């Protein structure tokens, strides 16, 4: 990780997922990729904050170690996202692999491991706020401005002059009420009338 960072690697994809932590060889312990991501201050990390890939204590640890300006919430969602639980396919319909969606995550058919996420971004923000007890403003930052910075997407990530008018409004339970893309309303579930 340190060698990679020295050569331009700046993002730990899906922190903890298929990533080694402390290992032991004989009587000695060695730091792994997870610890390197924590120790390299300039390293950004992605987390699948669905509460399953990473349970709340690990979400809290990542937040404590990296802070909202270095964490990007990512869904890593596959086609089963937003669909009822049951059989699904990971990858292309023709060449993908069969998986089962249950308990809020996609699993291998023998249930030996995860096979992808079915989380949506609102679920990630909700998990960070309601289960990991992260301040809402920081959870939203991890879903918006931090990923935009990492991607170099100058038109995204904040409500400001010169940026795209992409807006999501949600209620106190972080349930989507309005979606606007490029200033156009795509979803409007507001029941209270015009906003003041």
How many Cβ atoms from other residues are within 10 Å of residue 90's Cβ? 16
Q: Which of 44, 76, 172, 182 is catalytic?
A: 76
76 is catalytic: yes
Model's pTM, two decimal places?
Answer: 0.90
Proportion of the chain above pLDDT 70, given as a percent: 97
Residue-wise pLDDT for 58-93, tens only, equals: 999 999 999 999 999 999 999 999 899 999 999 999
The pLDDT assigned to 192 comes to 58
The pLDDT assigned to 196 comes to 45
Question: Strands across the sheet with 105-107, in order?
Answer: 86-90, 97-102, 105-107, 114-116
Which residues, at least 6 apart from 78, have a Cβ–Cβ distance to it below 8 Å? 88, 90, 91, 99, 106, 115, 116, 117, 118
How many Cβ atoms from other residues are within 10 Å of residue 166's Cβ? 17
Over residues 133-161, the mean pLDDT reads 95
């Amino acid at each position: 990780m340190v060698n990679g960072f020295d050569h331009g690697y700046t993002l730990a994809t899906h922190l903890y997922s298929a990533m080694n932590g402390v290992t032991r060889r004989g009587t000695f312990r060695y730091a792994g990729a997870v610890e390197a991501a924590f120790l390299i201050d300039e390293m950004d990390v992605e987390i699948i904050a669905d509460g399953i890939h990473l349970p709340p204590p690990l979400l809290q640890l990542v937040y404590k170690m990296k802070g909202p300006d270095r964490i990007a919430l990512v869904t890593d969602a596959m086609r089963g996202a937003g669909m009822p639980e049951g059989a699904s396919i990971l990858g292309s319909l023709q060449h993908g692999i069969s998986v089962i969606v249950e308990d809020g995550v996609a699993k291998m058919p023998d249930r030996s491991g995860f096979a992808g996420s079915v989380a949506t971004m609102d679920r990630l923000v909700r998990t960070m706020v309601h289960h990991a007890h992260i301040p809402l403003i920081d959870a939203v930052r991890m879903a918006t401005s931090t990923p935009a910075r990492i991607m170099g997407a100058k038109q995204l990530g904040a409500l400001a002059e010169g940026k795209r008018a992409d807006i999501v409004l949600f209620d106190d339970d972080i349930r989507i009420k309005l979606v606007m893309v490029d200033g156009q309303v795509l979803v409007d579930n507001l029941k209270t009338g015009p906003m003041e």
